[in-house]
Amino acid sequence: MRQSVYLRLAVFLVQLDVKREDAQWRREHRRIQVHMPYPLSAHMLKDIGVDNEFRISQEQLSPSAVRKVRHLRREYKSRLVT
């Protein structure tokens, strides 16, 4: 017996949702962590762009800076090591 179209569609949508959640989790945990030599106040951390978990907050980065970093990473990653 063949599976119904609705069942295939449901499985496909669930797989897409799982992949999206996995990508979101990886994006959140891949963020850069900053090590401070001494404790700073929450206001100082916010001013320098670091959140409570000592990670650089993505909200304060400009879209052009994010795009530039993405292109630079791709450029340096694609170079062959000789």
pLDDT per residue rounded down to tens, the chain (82 residues): 678 999 999 999 999 999 999 998 887 777 778 887 778 888 888 888 788 888 887 776 777 877 887 788 777 776 666 6
Distance CA 35, CA 32 (A): 10
Handedness of CA 6, 7, 8, 13 (dihedral sign): positive
pLDDT of residue 9: 95
Residue 31 Ramachandran class (φ > 0 left, ψ -120 to 50 alpha, else beta): beta
- The predicted model scores a pTM of 0.43
Which one-letter DSSP state was computed for residue 61? S
Structure tokens at 59: 């909200």
With H, G, I as helix, E, B as strand and everything else as coil, classify residue 52. Answer: coil
What are the boundaries of each domain within the chain?
Answer: 1-30, 32-81
